[in-house]
Chains A and B, each alone.
Chain A
């Protein structure tokens, strides 16, 4: 099996330095957004999806596991956060904790039993199972979803109803999640994951319990994806079935593919590209689906490294 990514460059001090400079640039750019005239709602939404795509990329880009059901984490955490905030009246931080817990463990134990395309199909089927449960369960309000969610005060101090405060809270959540993922992939744990991606039998013969590594990566990825789903509830103030549907999983895959599988910054770029596309092409109606399909086909046939992957390859740098 040929490798999914063009990851021949070793982790050198120079690579780490490059990536830290990029990170500082990205953080500064994003922190400056409220000072410019850019519509903050758009950037917040894109940030939530960027974190989601980064979490997804941790699994596919570094573990070689293509999950086609990551929308289930987004949607589940969204529903639980929304329910915790609205019905139980919990404060935001508790809502997030409740939202981002557990699901990764349960589905991971099942999904991790098969690899490759079977893994993709299993995650897809599991997310569809949850979709039908949420369609019928009373607390999700079926097709209507949970609406009008109060934003509340984070830690009792930060008023999330204020757009600027909310923006920086979302940004902090995104940057925190991003750094956690970055730390993970550059840790010994991340190196083992890459070894499993390249050649699982070899990793087993070296004595690694690969199933445990894969499960842990899956749980981490799922929890961070759930965290993104919780954050998204504060932005959109609703939780609905579209977030659990498998077409959403496809969009997450598309974001990562466009940005670059297995690159650090690719998913962020991809998420911004796709969310911007949906924002500005909304007038085309269903043609957006066709355009997304075309991007999929073009990326797979000619542009497998993605935007960031191509740039990194051109400059022979790791990004």
Chain B
């Protein structure tokens, strides 16, 4: 039973990363109509940013949790202003190809300087150790990751679905011209949205740094699974990507306990099954 709970926890943690990443993808997709293939690369940049902050600037985990997403978010906004902006109005496959190229560049540069092996990042002192819950031993940092990402997800959902800013945002995805006529700077909003999505990925990267080692391809491996998560959940709703992300993480964890051989493939198999039964995905609207 101990092992089952441990795998469930691992599943929840992976689920947190899936949720944060697919949430960012959904936000970007909503405004820019682009599947951000560079999402794995910016996730990796978030982790590396935390690593640099600690080892070069001596800045610890807590400030990194804020600084890294902002820094990577600014990088994302520069990308949007200099490149992605020029693709609006073109077939959205070009956005996918462009961001794929960006991912290759970013990952390639990091691989040249850091090889493919992982760099360690220590768990902050305040979150070391664990708690005995009676039925299992819970490492505090892992519990923190799950709770914190849940809070961030809910906050993002609230921002987009329940605030005035979010209402403008959603209106702009429906009819940018009309929203512009109301005096809202839509291009700036698009840039900020891309920054927000990228920042969410970078935040996931910082959270993951003490658990998974910091290495150049950490995002490349993850992004394909996140794409499968997105296909399963559909991109229709923000809440949909959060729930699907967590649920698939847990299912993956359970598979690792009951039938470990299939743990790498279970998400993809689920994707095939969902597509056969409900081609639009669980919460998605038609493409």
Contact = CB atoms under 8 A, between A and B. Distances in A.
B86 to A, nearest CB: 6
B136 interface: no
Contacts of B225: 128
Interface string A59-96: 01000001010000000000000000000000000000
B91 A2 contact: yes
B276 interface: yes
B282 interface: no
B155 interface: no
A136 B96 contact: no
B46 to A, nearest CB: 19
B167 interface: no
A41 interface: no
B93 A4 contact: yes
A120 B35 contact: yes
Contacts of A257: 97
B89 interface: yes
A121 interface: yes
A125 B228 contact: yes
Nearest to B269: A129
B248 to A, nearest CB: 12
A273 B139 CA distance: 52
Interface in B196-249: 224-225, 227-228, 230-231
Given A286-B111, A287-B112, A122 B231 contact: yes
Interface stretch (B49-57, B64-72, B98-106, B170-178): B98-106
A164 B275 CA distance: 47
A133 interface: yes
Contacts of B100: 250, 253, 296
B232 to A, nearest CB: 9
A113 B92 CA distance: 18
A250 B93 contact: no
B275 A292 contact: no
Interface string A266-304: 000000000000000000011111101111110111001
B117 interface: no
B228 A121 contact: yes
B108 interface: yes
Nearest to B90: A2
Nearest to A3: B91
A121 B230 contact: yes
A44 B279 CA distance: 41
A288 to B, nearest CB: 8
Contacts of A114: 231, 275, 279-280, 287
A178 interface: no
A101 B276 CA distance: 22
A158 interface: no
A250 B103 CA distance: 11
Interface SS of B by simple majority:
helix
A115 B267 CA distance: 20
Interface string A1-34: 1111000000000000000000000000000000
Interface in B79-130: 83, 86-87, 89-94, 96-98, 100-109, 111-112
A246 B221 CA distance: 10
B278 to A, nearest CB: 10
A216 B94 CA distance: 25
Interface SS of A by simple majority:
helix
Interface string A129-143: 100110110000000
Contact of A304 (B83, B94, B269, B279): B94
A193 B129 CA distance: 61
Interface string B262-273: 001101110110
A4 B94 CA distance: 9
Given A120-B96, A287-B112, A290-B112, A132 B102 contact: no
Contacts of A286: 108, 111-112
Interface in A212-229: none
A312 interface: no
Given A110-B272, A117-B92, A128-B268, A300 B97 contact: yes
B30 to A, nearest CB: 13
B265 A116 contact: no
Interface of A: 1-4, 60, 66, 68, 110, 113-118, 120-122, 124-126, 128-129, 132-133, 135-136, 246, 250, 253, 257, 285-290, 292-297, 299-301, 304
21 contacts: A1-B92, A2-B91, A60-B93, A66-B93, A110-B275, A115-B287, A116-B287, A120-B93, A122-B231, A125-B231, A128-B224, A289-B105, A289-B108, A290-B105, A290-B109, A293-B104, A296-B100, A300-B94, A300-B97, A300-B98, A304-B94
Closest 8 CB pairs of A and B: A296-B101, A293-B104, A293-B105, A289-B108, A129-B268, A290-B108, A113-B279, A297-B101
Interface of B: 35, 83, 86-87, 89-94, 96-98, 100-109, 111-112, 224-225, 227-228, 230-231, 261, 264-265, 267-269, 271-272, 275-276, 279-280, 287
